């Protein structure tokens, strides 16, 4: 929705307070290459919007790919990680589609849990032996300091506990993530079907928002994550990779999309954001699609297989990545360079991306990351990103750039305009009389403060939804201050 300045009432009829956004463009599912069939299969199985299904598939593939290779961009290497934000109404089957896309991830986590239970029991025994041996060495009254140091050196360091069998968090805090990084794998995901809990939770409260935005940006960039605590000292964690997919309802998304800090810090520019057209009311096929289910199972097996591959770790590290760069073929670089130039021109005055410059400036990098994810999913040992794969990734990145431009001024609705819109909907939907007064509107309407109700009614008058008619009868009594309601049928 886009805020429209109040204009005087004209004889042509009422003017809207809030103008509907143009419809989203169709998602270019054919450009997904090796991920096209899984995205379409989930869309067929759930009858959810294909853009939403594609985002879930991309997030799952990015989580599986990001640990193995980095992406080559026009400005050097970057993580092959993706951040996605998908806005959809309740009942759009967000949870169902996302669970299908994440099935392979969950299967892999189940494998990790089985291995972890065995490793944890073995570690406990080894740790008890180590503690007892160390205590015996330290407590030996007959040995001098040099002998104890030699024995402790022979004993070796404390056996580390096995890494926890979790790679996906649903509503973590930044503090929680950094606290647990030493005991987690190096490739992680932040994936939630209930994005409102994350957006409206502890991490995005006013006192934490700046640190949260900066930390999420560092995760996308592949930068070190630092933890400074008075009691725990200072820690810095490098070689981690994060992908994210936040599925959220419009009311929560609008709060984030209009947040000055999230925009100013560049966090939203790092997300591939879309708000697909709803399919509610059109989902009439009730039988199962066997072919779709088989494709979904194949996708899950592929994701599980990629996650099960050994990760390229830094020397003597068990959860710090050192992934090689997946280079661009010459034709891929040429295509990406031309695209980057076109996007740069489109950010100029009057250009299609003038109001979405923050995202547009990163669109070429988004395309390079997308191309790397598609390539690694297809073949984790691929020698390079081809021009064909890059062309498809550019088409997908262009879709998200257009979505960023479409949503750029969405949700920026001043509170007084939101009040007037709520009052308008109440008058047209719940109030049956032809007239209204400020007092009655405050008693029975959407908010219970007379001055607030009066201001909303005055704004509706300015837009032509009300006509002043003082002395008219409202709720059985004549009112000094009253308005006649202009029904939509009159406009």
Quick one: pLDDT at residue 487?
84
Quick one: pLDDT at residue 7?
46
Report how far residue 219's alpha carbon sits from residue 189's, in angstroms, rounded to the nearest whole number.
10
Q: How would you write the chain as a 3-class SS string? A: CEECCCCCCECCECCCCEECCCCCCCCCHHHHHHHHHHHHHHHHHHCCCHHHHHHHHHHHHHHHHCCCCEEEECCEEEECCCEEEEECCCCCCHHHHHHHHCHHHHHHHHHHHHHHHHHHHHHHHHHHHHHHHHHHHHHCCCCCHHHHHHHHHHHCCCCCCCCCCCCEECCCCHHHHHHHHHHCCCEEEEEECCHHHHHCCHHHCHHHHHHHHHHHHHHHHCCCEEEEECCCEEEEECCCEEEEEEEECHHHHHHHHCCHHHHHCCCHHHEEEECCCCCCCCCCCCCCCHHHHHHHHHHHHHHHHHHHCCCCECCCCCCCECCCEECECHHHHHHHHHHHHHHHHHCCCCCCCHHHHHHHCCHHHHHHHHHHHHHHHHCCCCCCECHHHHHHHHHHHHHHHHHHHHHCCECCCCHHHHHHHHHHHHHHHCCCCCEECHHHHHHHCCCCCHHHHHHHHHHHHHCCCEEECCCCEECCEECCCCEEECCHHHC
Which residue is it, tokens 């640190």? 211
Quick one: pLDDT at residue 197?
62
Give the closest residue to 389 by CA, choosing from 79, 35, 132.
35
Quick one: pLDDT at residue 6?
43
Quick one: pLDDT at residue 207?
67
Pick 2-19+415-490's CATH classification: 1.10.10, 1.10.287, 1.20.58, 1.20.1070: 1.10.10
114: exposed, middle or buried (Cβ count in 10 Å: 0-12, 13-18, 19+): exposed
Q: How would you write the pLDDT of the chain (491 residues) with one tens digit per residue?
A: 344 444 444 456 788 877 666 788 999 999 999 999 999 999 999 999 999 999 999 999 999 999 999 999 999 999 999 999 999 888 889 899 999 999 999 999 999 999 999 999 999 999 999 999 999 999 999 999 999 999 999 999 999 999 999 999 887 777 888 889 999 999 999 998 776 666 666 666 766 777 778 888 999 999 998 876 656 667 889 999 999 999 888 777 776 776 777 776 788 899 999 998 887 888 777 788 899 999 999 999 999 999 999 999 999 999 999 999 999 999 999 999 999 999 999 999 988 888 788 889 999 999 999 999 999 999 999 999 999 999 999 999 999 999 988 887 555 566 788 789 889 989 998 999 999 999 999 999 998 899 999 999 999 999 999 999 999 999 999 999 999 999 865 54
Quick one: pLDDT at residue 278?
81
The CATH T-level fold of domain 29-109+165-407 is Rossmann fold (3.40.50)
Quick one: pLDDT at residue 252?
73
In the chain, where the domains are located = 2-19+415-490, 29-109+165-407
Sign (positive or negative) of CA dihedral 364, 370, 373, 377: negative
pLDDT digits (tens, 9 = 90+) for 307-329: 999 999 999 999 999 999 999 99
- End-to-end alpha-carbon separation of the chain, Å? 21
Report yes or no: 283 and 97 within 8 Å, Cβ to Cβ: no
Quick one: pLDDT at residue 8?
45
């Amino acid at each position: 929705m886009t805020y429209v300045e109040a204009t005087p009432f004209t004889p042509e009829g009422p003017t809207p307070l809030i103008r509907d956004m143009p419809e989203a463009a169709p998602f270019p599912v054919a450009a997904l290459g090796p991920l096209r069939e899984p995205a379409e299969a989930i869309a067929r199985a759930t009858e959810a919007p294909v853009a939403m299904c594609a985002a879930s598939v991309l997030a799952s593939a990015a989580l599986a790919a990001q640990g193995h290779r980095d992406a080559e961009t026009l400005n050097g290497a970057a993580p092959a990680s993706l951040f996605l934000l998908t806005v959809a109404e309740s009942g759009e089957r967000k949870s169902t589609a996302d669970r299908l896309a994440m099935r392979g991830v969950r299967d892999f986590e189940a494998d990790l849990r089985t291995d972890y239970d065995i490793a944890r029991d073995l570690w406990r025994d080894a740790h008890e032996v180590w503690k007892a041996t160390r205590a015996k060495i330290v407590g030996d009254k007959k040995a001098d300091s040099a002998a104890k140091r030699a024995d402790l050196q022979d004993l070796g360091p404390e056996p580390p506990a096995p890494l926890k069998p979790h790679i996906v968090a649903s509503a973590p805090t930044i503090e929680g993530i950094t606290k647990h990084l030493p005991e987690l794998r190096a490739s992680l995901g932040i994936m939630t079907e209930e994005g409102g809990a994350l957006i409206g939770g502890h991490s995005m409260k006013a006192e934490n928002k700046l640190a949260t935005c900066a930390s999420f940006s560092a995760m996308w960039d592949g930068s070190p994550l630092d933890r400074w605590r008075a009691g725990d000292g200072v820690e810095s964690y490098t070689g981690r990779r994060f992908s994210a997919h936040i599925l959220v309802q419009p009311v929560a998304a609008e709060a984030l999309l209009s947040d000055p800090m999230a925009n100013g810090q560049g966090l939203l520019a790092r997300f591939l954001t879309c708000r697909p057209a709803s399919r509610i009311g059109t989902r009439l096929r009730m039988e199962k699609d066997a072919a779709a289910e088989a494709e979904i199972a194949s996708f899950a097996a592929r994701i599980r297989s990629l996650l099960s591959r050994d990760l390229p770790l830094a020397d003597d590290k068990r959860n710090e990545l050192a992934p090689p760069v997946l280079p661009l073929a010459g034709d891929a670089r040429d295509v990406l360079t031309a695209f980057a130039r076109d996007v740069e021109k489109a950010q100029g005055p009057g250009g299609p991306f003038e109001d979405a410059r923050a995202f547009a400036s990163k669109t070429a990098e988004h395309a390079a990351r997308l191309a790397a994810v598609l390539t690694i999913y297809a073949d984790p040992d691929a020698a390079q990103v081809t021009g064909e794969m890059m062309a498809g990734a550019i088409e997908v990145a262009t879709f998200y750039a257009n979505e960023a431009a479409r949503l750029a001024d969405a949700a920026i609705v001043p509170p007084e305009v939101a009040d007037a819109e709520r009052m308008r909907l109440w008058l047209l939907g719940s109030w049956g009389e032809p007239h209204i007064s400020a007092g009655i509107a405050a008693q029975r309407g959407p908010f219970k403060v007379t001055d607030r109700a009066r201001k909303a009614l005055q704004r509706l008058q300015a837009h032509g939804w009300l006509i002043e008619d003082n002395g008219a009868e409202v709720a059985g009594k004549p009112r000094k201050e009253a308005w006649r309601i202009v029904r939509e049928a009159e406009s």
